[in-house]
Amino acid sequence: MNTLAERIRASRKKAGLSQADVAKSLRVSASAVNQWESGFSKNIKLEYFFALASLLQQDSQWLATGTVFPQLRRMQAEAPPPSAQAAVSLVGEEKALLHHFRLLPTKLRKRLLRFVKGLSDLSVFEDRNVRVDRGAQ
């Protein structure tokens, strides 16, 4: 993949996203995404470029240049292998949640995690009460 357009297109397909998905996530027009992938648009605003790299789960340096710099290669080589759980492929709603979660600022991510944990704790509590009630009948 020699061009930015080719890297964007290949990364989008690898991520399992359509051009419309990318456009909606980045809040740009579908034609803008099409132009990025066709090579007609030579300038992508930085805010969109970094959001695109994050959305596609690609290193921004690789996406921009097609090369990974030596220091980054070392860091990737030293990183622990992904867990078996991480290797499980995500499905529909999980992909959507993860995608939108990644678009949030860090502060909101933390709040959302606390909220979801609270919901999870609540549902476990309610499940236990339901089981107790059914057992009493």
Q: What mean pLDDT, rounded, does the chain reach? A: 78
The tens digit of pLDDT for each residue in 97-126 reads: 888 888 888 888 888 888 888 887 776 555
On whether both 68 and 113 belong to a single domain, the answer is no
pTM above 0.75, yes or no: no
Give residue 121's domain range. 104-137
On whether both 30 and 81 belong to a single domain, the answer is yes
On whether both 74 and 128 belong to a single domain, the answer is no
Position 55 in a domain: yes
The answer to which of 35-39, 66-70, 109-113 has the lowest mean pLDDT is 66-70
Asked whether 55 and 28 are in contact (CB, 8 A), the reply is: no
